[in-house]
């Protein structure tokens, strides 16, 4: 059997914040980054970002775009909700040998490699993943309206909600609530903002929450605890057991570590790699499976 690490492959990892493309030529890796590529919220925009990434990748290497699109490719994108969406993407993208899935398998493979364990991936959106005996299982990832618990956009939205509770006198004000009221124009401004905000706009508030939480802000810590509680409830549902590692990935994921129960804190493990590394591994799997 050939060593899959020697294959030349293309990998795409796209989410609500950014899209990354990598050309792996044996041990040599070339990467580029473009904008948001959630094909559920903006299909045409996501396709444009991938095509732009191919242009940038060709400019940084000795290969043409045609060369790149003939390589075995794995494309993992937020918003790929099933085979119908994957088929639509296959028709819109120029790859000749491609496997298209949502962004969850690449994140799980990148974080755990070939080991068993679970991840809570919390970026602009969120999902949970488990690997046991070579089998993957996922939950969540249903988008900002129906899910994405503990994601950056969820945290931003919750922070605005509890800030309005301080206006109503239901919760004590804090530096976080005072900052949000000042930045957005008091309660009417928060309502206007929320009425037109995109998930990325809500997500942009998350660093304000994590920074205030780290400084002991009671309201910010309340919001972060709510996110950690969602994760702690979900992981056993997908098969986590106390002997397995837990990886927190995505922009906000690692910030939940102090809020977990002791049994979960004891199993927190640094991810082995990023989702892009997982996408490269999955592209190499495809190359090995389809090699002549």
User: Which CATH number is 188's domain given?
Assistant: 3.30.420.40
Question: Are 72 and 149 within one domain?
Answer: no
Same-domain pairing of 145 and 103 = no
Angle between the N-to-C axes of helices 175-184 and 186-196, in degrees from 0 to 180, rounded to the nearest 10: 70
Confidence of residue 144 (pLDDT cuts 50, 70, 90): confident
**C-alpha to C-alpha distance for 147 and 17, rounded to whole angstroms:** 17
Q: How many residues does the chain have?
A: 292
In the predicted structure, residue 34 carries a pLDDT above the cut 90: yes
- The answer to whether residue 1 sits within a structural domain is no
Is residue 3's pLDDT more than 70? no
Residue 181 sits at φ, ψ, to 5 deg, of -65, -40
Does residue 3 lie within any of the structural domains? no
Shared-domain flag, residues 242 and 172: yes
Residues 154 and 109 in one domain: no
pLDDT at res. 220: 98
Q: Are residues 96 and 110 in the same domain?
A: yes
Give a yes or no: residue 237 inside a domain. yes
- Closest Cα to residue 156, out of 97, 203, 225, 89? 203
Q: What is the pLDDT of residues 210-227, one digit of tens each?
A: 999 999 999 999 999 999
Using CA of residue 195, residue 196, residue 200, residue 204, what is the dihedral sign?
negative
Among residues 84, 64, 82, 81, which one has the least CA distance to residue 23?
64
Domain, as residue range, for 90: 8-114+273-290
In this structure, is residue 105 part of a structural domain?
A: yes
Asked whether residue 262 is domain-assigned, the answer is yes
What pLDDT digit, counting tens, does each position of 80-106 carry? 888 999 999 999 999 999 999 988 999
Determine contact, residues 78/37, Cβ cutoff 8 Å: yes
Q: What is the largest CA-CA distance in the chain?
A: 69
Please report the pLDDT score of residue 62 as a whole number.
84
- Considering the domain architecture, whether residues 130 and 258 belong to the same structural domain is answered as yes
**Residue 2 located in a structural domain:** no
Domains held by the chain: number: 2
CB < 8 Å & 24+ apart, contacts of 179-184:
179/208, 179/212, 180/205, 180/208, 184/160
Q: Does residue 73 or residue 291 have the better pLDDT?
A: 73
Determine the pLDDT at residue 142. 83
State mean pLDDT over 15-32: 89
Q: What strands lie across the sheet with 246-249, from one edge to the other?
A: 135-140, 126-132, 117-122, 246-249
pLDDT attached to residue 1: 43
Residue 40, φ and ψ in degrees, nearest 5: -80, -40
Query: Of 144-148, 206-210, 221-225, 286-290, which gets the smallest average pLDDT?
Result: 144-148
Q: Which pLDDT score, from 0 to 100, does residue 40 have?
A: 82
Residues 89 and 169 in one domain: no
């Amino acid at each position: 059997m050939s060593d899959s690490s020697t294959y030349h492959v293309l990998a795409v990892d796209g989410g609500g914040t950014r899209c990354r493309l990598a050309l792996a030529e044996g041990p040599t890796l070339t990467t580029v980054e473009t904008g948001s590529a959630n094909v559920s919220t903006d299909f045409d925009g996501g396709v444009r970002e991938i095509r732009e990434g191919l242009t940038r990748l060709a400019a940084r290497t000795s290969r043409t775009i045609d060369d790149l699109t003939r390589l075995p490719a794995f494309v993992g994108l937020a918003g790929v909700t099933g085979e119908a969406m994957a088929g639509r993407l296959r028709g819109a993208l120029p790859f000749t040998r491609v496997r298209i899935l949502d962004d969850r398998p690449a994140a799980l493979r990148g974080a755990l490699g070939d080991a068993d364990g679970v991840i809570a991936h919390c970026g602009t959106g969120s999902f949970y993943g488990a690997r046991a005996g070579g089998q993957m299982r996922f939950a969540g990832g249903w988008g900002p309206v129906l899910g994405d618990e503990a994601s950056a956009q969820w945290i931003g939205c919750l922070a605005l909600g509890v800030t309005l509770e301080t206006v109503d006198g239901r919760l004590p004000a804090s530096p976080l609530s005072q900052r949000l009221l000042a930045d957005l124009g008091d309660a009417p401004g928060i309502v206007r903002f929320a009425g037109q905000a995109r998930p990325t706009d809500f997500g942009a508030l998350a660093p304000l929450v994590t920074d205030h939480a780290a400084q002991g802000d009671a309201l910010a810590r309340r919001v972060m605890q709510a996110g950690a509680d969602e994760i702690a409830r979900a992981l056993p549902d997908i098969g986590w057991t106390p002997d397995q590692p837990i990886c927190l990935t995505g922009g906000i994921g690692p910030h939940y570590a102090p809020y977990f129960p002791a049994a979960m804190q004891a199993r927190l493990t640094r991810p082995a790699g990023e989702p892009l590394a997982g996408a490269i591994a999955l592209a190499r799997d495809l190359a090995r499976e389809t090699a002549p």
